[in-house]
């Protein structure tokens, strides 16, 4: 026997040994893999037949898709421009929002200057007091136009949301009733910006 025949025989024996060592499950998996591979190759090489009408519809839908995409891009660009413009306007508004209020407050400053000037020309302090009172009313009028609201205190029931009590007074009044206001409180368009500082009727702890 030649060397070549010995080699071939050895290879045949090796293949048979490997095949005999494979389990039925492994053989099934291998067969399935080969089947899937063949189907995939057939699908790749298969040609899809499309009629002229169907192809025309496909082209029409593709054209519509391109048109919608272009519209979307234009809308996005318009929205970006709108957003930038709104940001600029908001910045401008924030920068000059107090301009109108400042112009109105300047009238209060004018009243104060007139009162000071009048008090320098006359020794009658009644003129100064009247000037200060006019200025106070003008300032409150302007602030009320901007949404300022005065919080009611004296005679009202104490409300911790609006009032800040610093003392309880045993004065014979109903307990919890506000009997004295030390500093006025204000709301701005319904939002508390400064509570009233008050004294409230109550029992004297030392009594």
Element (H, E) at 149: strand 148-150
pLDDT at 156: 94
pTM of the model: 0.52
If you compute the radius of gyration of the chain from its CA atoms, what whole number of angstroms results? Answer: 46
CATH number, residue 192: 2.30.22.10
Examine residue 173 and state whether it is found in any structural domain, yes or no: yes
Examine residue 6 and state whether it is found in any structural domain, yes or no: no
Examine residue 98 and state whether it is found in any structural domain, yes or no: no
pLDDT at 15: 45
Examine residue 73 and state whether it is found in any structural domain, yes or no: no
Examine residue 12 and state whether it is found in any structural domain, yes or no: no
pLDDT at 202: 82
How many structural domains comprise the chain?
A: 1
Residue 185 near residue 196 (C-beta atoms within 8 A): yes
- What range defines the domain where residue 186 resides? 149-207
Examine residue 179 and state whether it is found in any structural domain, yes or no: yes
Rounded to an integer, what is the distance from CA 201 to the centroid of its chain? Answer: 44
Confidence class of residue 187 from pLDDT cuts 50, 70 and 90?
Answer: very high
Does residue 40 sit in helix, strand or coil? helix
Average confidence (pLDDT) over 57-76: 88
What proportion of the chain, given as a percentage, has pLDDT over 70? 73
Average confidence (pLDDT) over 149-178: 92
pLDDT at 151: 95
Average confidence (pLDDT) over 117-122: 72
Examine residue 18 and state whether it is found in any structural domain, yes or no: no
């Amino acid at each position: 026997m030649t060397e070549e025949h010995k080699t071939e025989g050895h290879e045949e024996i090796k293949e048979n040994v490997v095949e005999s060592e494979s389990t039925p499950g492994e053989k099934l998996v291998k067969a399935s893999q080969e089947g899937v591979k063949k189907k995939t190759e057939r699908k790749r090489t298969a040609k899809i037949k499309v009629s002229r009408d169907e192809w025309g519809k496909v082209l029409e839908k593709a054209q519509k898709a391109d048109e919608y995409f272009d519209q979307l891009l234009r809308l996005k660009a318009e929205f970006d421009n709108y957003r930038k413009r709104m940001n600029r306007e908001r910045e401008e508004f924030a920068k000059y929002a107090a301009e109108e209020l400042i112009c109105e407050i300047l009238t209060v400053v004018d009243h104060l200057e007139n009162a000071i000037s009048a008090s320098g020309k006359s020794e009658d302090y009644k003129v100064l007091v009247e000037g200060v009172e006019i200025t106070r009313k003008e300032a409150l009028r302007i602030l009320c136009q901007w949404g300022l609201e005065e919080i009611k205190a004296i005679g009202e029931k104490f409300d911790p949301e609006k009032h800040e009590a610093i003392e309880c007074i045993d004065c014979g009044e109903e307990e919890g009733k506000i009997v004295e206001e030390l500093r006025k409180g204000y709301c701005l368009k319904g939002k508390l910006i400064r509570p009233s500082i008050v004294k409230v009727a109550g029992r004297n702890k030392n009594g």
